Amino acid sequence: MAGGGGGGRMGGRFMTEEEKANQPKITKALLKRVFSYLTPYWKQLAFVLVCIAVSSVMSLYPQVLTGKILDKGIIGKDLNMLIFLILASFGLTLASNLIGVLEAYLNAWIAQHITFDMRNQMFAHLQKMSQRFFTSNNQGDIITRMTSDISGVESVITNTFRNILQNSITLVVALVMMFRMNWILALLGVCIIPLFVIPTRKAGKTRWKLTGEAQECNDEINGILNETMSVSGQLLVKLFGKEKQEYDRYESANGRMIRLNIRERMAGRWFFVVLNTVTNIGPMLLYLVGGILIIQYKKDISPGDITVMVGLLGRTYMPVNNLLNIQVDWMRSMALFTRIFEYFDMPVEIENAPDAITPESTTGEVEFNGVDFSYDPERQILKDVTFKLEAGHSVAIVGPSGSGKSTIINLIPRLYDVQSGEVRFGGIDVRKLDLTFLRKNVGVVSQETYLFNGTIRENLLYAKDDATEEEMIEACKKANIYDFISSQEAGLDTMVGNRGLKLSGGEKQRISIARVLLKNPALLIFDEATSALDSISESKIQEAIDPIIEERTSILIAHRLSTILAADEILVVKDGQIVERGQHSDLVKLGGVYTELYNTQFNRPLNTEKAKAEQQTAVNAVPVTE
Ligand code: ATP
């Protein structure tokens, strides 16, 4: 008793602020939420509960029979009784184990179904998250939550919840049996229990804290792997000769992880030393006190009774030990759920308005009215952007790198929402339009062409899963990529490689143009690659886009004169503002931002006859430049 009190005070004194801060807040709401995942399976759970209760009692009963075997069979010299009791004991053990198998199956079934539900729910939720979420969160962290955190839930159900039930039932049944046999010996056994409590609590907290740190370290390792083991990441490492630096970074995180894991495994081990000693001392004390009661006080206890008590006491240590460890597991599980719920609770930034409009069709007309936008509060990116793109027309957006061109187009399919002002699509504020309708009608060929690792056909079908062979060929022809495809042995079934890396930049872009053509959007946005393509690829892309933009509403983020010349109007963006607008011939004479861009960027020779002719006309209009 004295030891228990002293240990408690010591534990209090040694509890740091950090330890306190690291405990998950186990609120009623959290528990309610956790259990809400179990409620759909309550029937199966109820059955599991019955199985656990029956098998726990059945597994304890042979212990009681041991006393009878000793007293009635062996000491009472009744062979028939001895055989009967042994067979009964064997039958009970077998039945208890068989029920255990059924219970394990049901438990696994429930756990798998709950994680299935959770994974799907998380995937659906993450898909609704905005671009901001994906650009500001570490990919490793997202993947860890989707994989290991949710897998952890499975172990919570198969182990933690099950252990709580099984151990509580076994403990209660064993204690009731003990007290019914002899309350003095039972009380003695119970007195030894507090000796476990103190060290387990302390070890539990340390382990919980270390688990959190190990989890963070694991996220960091996943992050490093994601960055360095990706094709483009490796390329960067190689080209900058950063192998040693990356290795050191990985090794240091890996080393930290190992130290944390060892500390976590070791925390609480010393507790087992106490536990094992107590486990051995307990029976001896019972024999001693039991013996004294029989010899000195002539109490009515048989040797069989003492054996049963010793057996039952032995059976209580494990549940007590498990239940105390469960406190740690319980905290861990709650921390796990808290982490998962944190993701679920992240608000969906961009979602359908409750009364979202789905028009019959749209012309793809775009209007920006006084649009202000920033990715983060510290820095405003777009300032009072206003322009109108009439249906069937095209506009080229030009400007220095980082001026906000891609940001402008990101606002049209609502990858982000404006801070003030409005973006209208087909005459309706995009925030009032049905998101699926909006995104279906806006086609983007982005700078970074993303192709899935599969065939060209599979990549095309991503835009329209019921596209016919003819439709695909027509789109490829329009995108000026069909000649390339037909020159390949496998044609449309040519593999594009990881992220399309088996193809050249120009081929990838033309395939993505074909893909967007199959989607057939009302508005086409073409974010021209800044990276230099060779002039043949460039002119092939140019030949592909020229007729496309003539027939539909389009926005071109342009870095090349030929693209700019193809548009009806040019918007010049600088520092998030439209500073000049008009036709090439007028802008070039202004001597402003456009003229400077023209002199430094656009004035490059081109391949197509049409572009050459247009460029010549344009060049003639330029003031004297150096
Ligand atoms: P480029 O021609 O080089 O593609 P751009 O004109 O398209 O450039 P944007 O990509 O629109 O420029 O970027 C405008 C500014 O916004 C840049 O300063 C950039 O650093 C910043 N920015 C872009 N994306 C984000 C983001 N997801 N979070 C925070 N800032 C961003």
Q: Ligand 1 atom closest to Cα of 559?
A: 2
- Ligand 1 centroid, distance to 406 Cα (angstroms): 7
Contact 506, 537 (CB under 8 A): yes
Kindly report which listed range (172-176, 407-411, 590-594) carries the lowest average pLDDT score.
590-594
- Ligand 1 centroid, distance to 495 Cα (angstroms): 32
Q: Ligand 1 atom closest to Cα of 399?
A: 6
Question: What would you report as the CA-atom Rg of the chain, rounded to the nearest whole angstrom?
Answer: 36
Query: Domain 12-182+318-349 classified CATH 1.20.1560.10?
Result: yes
Q: Write down the pLDDT at residue 116.
A: 92
The Cβ of residue 5 has, within 10 Å, a number of other Cβ atoms equal to: 11
519-to-317, 465, 477, 503, 545 alpha-carbon distances in Å = 67, 10, 15, 22, 15
Q: Write down the pLDDT at residue 363.
A: 84
Which residue has a Cα nearest atom 21 of ligand 1?
402
Report the topology of domain 350-441+523-536+545-626: Rossmann fold (3.40.50)
DSSP state of 624: P
- Ligand 1 centroid, distance to 423 Cα (angstroms): 19
Q: Is the pLDDT of residue 13 over 50?
A: no
Contact 283, 185 (CB under 8 A): no
Q: What is the mean pLDDT of residues 191-206?
A: 65
Q: Write down the pLDDT at residue 204.
A: 64
Q: Is the shortest distance between the CB of 152 and ligand 1 below 6 Å? A: no
Grouping H, G, I as helix, E, B as strand and the rest as coil, residue 525 is: strand
Which residue has a Cα nearest atom 17 of ligand 1?
402
Q: Is the shortest distance between the CB of 401 and ligand 1 below 6 Å? A: yes
Give kind and range of the element (H or E) at residue 17: helix 17-21
Which residue has a Cα nearest atom 23 of ligand 1?
407
Geometric angle at alpha carbon 400, from 396 and 403, rounded to 5°: 85
- Ligand 1 centroid, distance to 527 Cα (angstroms): 13
Q: Write down the pLDDT at residue 207.
A: 72
Q: Is the pLDDT of residue 8 over 70?
A: no
Domain boundaries, the chain: 12-182+318-349, 350-441+523-536+545-626, 449-520
Q: What is the pTM of this model?
A: 0.68
Which residue has a Cα nearest atom 26 of ligand 1?
375
**Would 12-182+318-349 and 449-520 be classified into the same CATH topology?**
no
What is the pLDDT confidence band of residue 454, given thresholds at 50, 70 and 90? confident
- Ligand 1 centroid, distance to 208 Cα (angstroms): 41
Which residue has a Cα nearest atom 1 of ligand 1?
401
Q: Is the shortest distance between the CB of 403 and ligand 1 below 6 Å? A: yes
Q: Which residue has the higher pLDDT, 208 or 134?
A: 134
Give the bridge partners for 366, in sequence order.
389, 425
Contact 363, 522 (CB under 8 A): yes
Left, alpha or beta for 268 (phi > 0: left; psi -120 to 50: alpha)? Answer: left
CB neighbours of 50 closer than 8 A, spacing ≥ 6?
none
Q: Is the shortest distance between the CB of 617 and ligand 1 below 6 Å? A: no
Which residue has a Cα nearest atom 10 of ligand 1?
406
Q: Is the shortest distance between the CB of 404 and ligand 1 below 6 Å? A: yes
Contact 530, 478 (CB under 8 A): no
- Ligand 1 centroid, distance to 385 Cα (angstroms): 15
Report the topology of domain 449-520: Rossmann fold (3.40.50)
Q: Which residue has the higher pLDDT, 165 or 204?
A: 165
Backbone angles phi, psi at 422, to 5 degrees: -150, 155
- Ligand 1 centroid, distance to 408 Cα (angstroms): 10
What digits encode the pLDDT tens for the residues 352-405? Answer: 888 888 888 888 899 999 999 998 888 899 999 999 999 889 899 988 888 999
**Cβ neighbourhood burial of 400 (10 Å; 0-12, 13-18, 19+):** middle
Q: What is the mean pLDDT of residues 416-433?
A: 92
Choose which residue among 136, 350, 375 to substitute to test ligand 1 binding: the one with the highest number of ligand atoms within 8 A of its C-beta: 375
Which residue has a Cα nearest atom 9 of ligand 1?
404
- Above pLDDT 90, what percent of the chain? 18
Tallying the residues shown for the chain, one arrives at 626
- Ligand 1 centroid, distance to 444 Cα (angstroms): 17
Backbone angles phi, psi at 590, to 5 degrees: -65, -30
